[in-house]
Amino acid sequence: MKITSLDDFLRDINSIEEYIQHIDLVNKVAVNTRNSEEESLILFNHHFSTFRMDKRIYEYKSIIISLYGIIEKYVEIWITEHVDNLTLLFDNYYNIPDKIRKSHFDLSLKLITLINENRYNKYSNIKKEDLLNNLNLCVNKPAKFKLNREAFSPISGNLKHNKIVESFEYINIKLNDILLNNKEFSNYLIDKVGQGIDNEKPETLYQELNQLVDFRNEIAHGVEVTQLLNKTELESYIEFITNYGKAIFETLHEKEIKYECENSYEIIDEIIDVYNSSILAFNIEYYKIKINDFVIVETTSKKLIKKRISDIQLNGISYDILDINEKSSIAVNLNNEIKKNYKFYLKKGKECQI
């Protein structure tokens, strides 16, 4: 997963927060200049006082539609990006989990039907011949497979939580379980609804998202808005979408690390020690290692993290590259948050015998 897409998501969220702050500032200017005799401010306050309720409704609609649009946009981006990345994480179509291969076939046929019937404008640039060709590659040239990423894109414009869960099932991810195991997100849910989140229904845990979809639909269908969320309530919805979106991204990111670890990495068997929660010392033989290589770290809770090597030492001397031809004890700096009881993995290859 591209960390830049998470940055873009957070930047879009921040834009809504800045818009709300802008509204507050404009309102304060109106109050503080109510008795001003400056012509421009007189005109401003007259306009503000006559337009105030319509202005509030317009602002409210803009915030709701924009906030929902962000989660819909990035769920689609992240799912299709993940599907794209599977071609890098697996060297053969038939090594991909069965669930994903079945989903790919079924969803591709469904997408071809939608294109054939001109059902959705979002698919107007996709040719059904290309989709069929990709399906053919998967079956007949599985080592050169290409997935139809668009087939996994959620079709519904009403992405309530259960719809997002359904989309993740197609890519072999049980989202409800994983979200509750996400430490940061589960702590957020506990702060929001209290202890015992494992026993709460998804409708309770994710009600902000589901309500946001309902609010957006009412606005889109021209239903008269009679009750507006106040600033505190809006901030609560923004906080939820921020935490939810980050947890979605982390779910996909960690899944990709898991695939990469299973397919391209081997466990380091001979761990010597961990120093200062940063430096991993271990024995290794017949391996070429260099700065900026990655070590995958598996915590005691089974969480997988990729750590970049920033320093390599052999016999107290630092190296940019080490070509090890005999069994040696080396140390690599992984820059904090590691423990000796974790598991550590290095990439296969380079005549690796660890």
pLDDT at 169: 97
Average pLDDT over every residue of 327-351? 91
Nearest residue to 346 (alpha-carbon basis) of 288, 273, 300: 288
Question: By mean pLDDT, which of 122-126, 159-163, 252-256, 307-311 is the weakest?
Answer: 122-126
DSSP assignment of 173-190: --HHHHHHH-HHHHHHHH
Q: Judge whether 70 and 78 are in contact, CB under 8 Å.
A: no
Average pLDDT, rounded, for the chain: 92
Give the domain 268-347 fold. Answer: Elongation Factor Tu (Ef-tu); domain 3 (2.40.30)
pLDDT at 258: 97
Residue 9 pLDDT more than 90? yes
Query: What confidence tens digit (pLDDT) does each residue in 48-63 have?
Result: 777 766 888 889 999 9
Average pLDDT over every residue of 276-282? 97
What is this structure's pTM? 0.89
pLDDT at 352: 46
pLDDT at 53: 67
pLDDT at 353: 44
Q: Judge whether 147 and 111 are in contact, CB under 8 Å.
A: no
Burial of 50 (0-12, 13-18, 19+ CB in 10 A): exposed
pLDDT at 134: 96
Nearest residue to 304 (alpha-carbon basis) of 352, 263, 275, 348: 263
Strand runs labelled E in the chain: 265-267, 271-275, 279-284, 287-290, 294-298, 304-308, 311-314, 317-319, 321-324, 328-333, 343-347
pLDDT at 184: 94
Average pLDDT over every residue of 283-291? 94
Average pLDDT over every residue of 130-159? 92
Residue 299 pLDDT more than 80? yes
pLDDT at 43: 82
Tokens 């690599």 correspond to what residue? 332
Domain with CATH 2.40.30.10 in the chain: 268-347
Instruction: Count other C-beta atoms under 10 Å from residue 67's C-beta.
Output: 24
Q: How far apart are CA 128 and CA 150, in angstroms?
A: 11
Q: How confident is the model at residue 195 (pLDDT cuts 50, 70, 90)?
A: confident
What would the two tokens of residue 213 be?
């979809």
Query: What confidence tens digit (pLDDT) does each residue in 24-48 have?
Result: 898 888 888 888 878 888 888 887 7
Burial of 221 (0-12, 13-18, 19+ CB in 10 A): exposed
pLDDT at 120: 67
Q: How confident is the model at residue 166 (pLDDT cuts 50, 70, 90)?
A: very high
Residue 156 pLDDT more than 80? no
> Within the chain, how many helices (H) and strands (E) appear?
10, 11
What would the two tokens of residue 307 be?
């750590």
